[in-house]
Structure 1
Amino acid sequence: MLVHYHDLAPFCSATCKNVRVGSKVLYGLYGVVEHSGSMRGGHYTAYVKVRAPSRKLLEHITGKKNVPGLKEPDSEAASQWVHASDTYVQVVPESRALSAQAYLLFYQRILTIC
């Protein structure tokens, strides 16, 4: 099973900007590429975590407050995993994505906006 979140703070340089001593630098899994077949040929598919837009992040980026029609979703409850191949995209349980035979993993930094 894949690890969902990684704290990379212990591996950051001591001169790393914006990282306080004792703080965490979290990265969350958002993509898994799976290969089926052999070394000579096969097929790749992907599992991707799709999240609802964040009101706080949009306000932070745009500098505007109270963006009309955008509500803050429940953090993890608002995300879902999809499985994508050449001819389809379908919603799948998180457990399926996390138990995939991973060929390549994608992580993104999780920022905390105060």
Structure 2
Amino acid sequence: ILDLAPFCAVKCKVSVGKEHNQILYSLYGIVEHSGTMRSGHYTAYVKVRPERPQPSSNGLTGDDAEPPRGSWFHISDTSVQPVSESKVQSCQAYLLFYERIL
């Protein structure tokens, strides 16, 4: 979970609403590069989750304080393999993908 509230302007915090003092994002994807600057290979880690409730008109669901749990998969060309969360946490991330949860 990443809280961006400490790095946001006051105007942004006001638009979120006074009841929320956090602006939370949850990691759902990672791109990893192996090799050198001249050549290499890109792979991805992707979090697959159970279905979520549909968002309300403000874009948030009622249970957004905690991101839904899900399984992680490592994807490389034509291969898709389940991996542990600890494997994901130890990868050499090149790009990170987050979704807003609160």
Computing the radius of gyration from Cα coordinates, the structure with the larger value is: 1
Deviation at 1:28, TM superposition (A): 1.2
Percent identity over the alignment is 56
Normalising by the residue count of structure 1, what TM-score does the alignment of the two structures yield?
0.71
Q: Is the counterpart of residue 19 in structure 1 residue 17 in structure 2? A: yes
SS in 1 for 2:95: strand
Q: Is the counterpart of residue 7 in structure 1 residue 15 in structure 2? A: no
**Structure 1 unaligned blocks of 5 or more:** 62-74
Matched length:
90
Structure with a larger share of its residues in strand: 2
> Which position in structure 1 is the counterpart of 2:64?
none
Distance 1:30 1:82 in 2: 11
Distance 2:77 2:97 in 1: 19
Structure-2 change in CA distance of 1:59 and 1:100 (3 Å): closer
Distance 2:35 2:55 in 1: 45
Deviation at 1:31, TM superposition (A): 1.0
Normalising by the residue count of structure 2, what TM-score does the alignment of the two structures yield?
0.78
**Structure 2 unaligned blocks of 5 or more:** 58-67
1:61-80 correspondence runs (5 A): 75-76=68-69, 79-80=70-71
Deviation at 1:21, TM superposition (A): 6.9
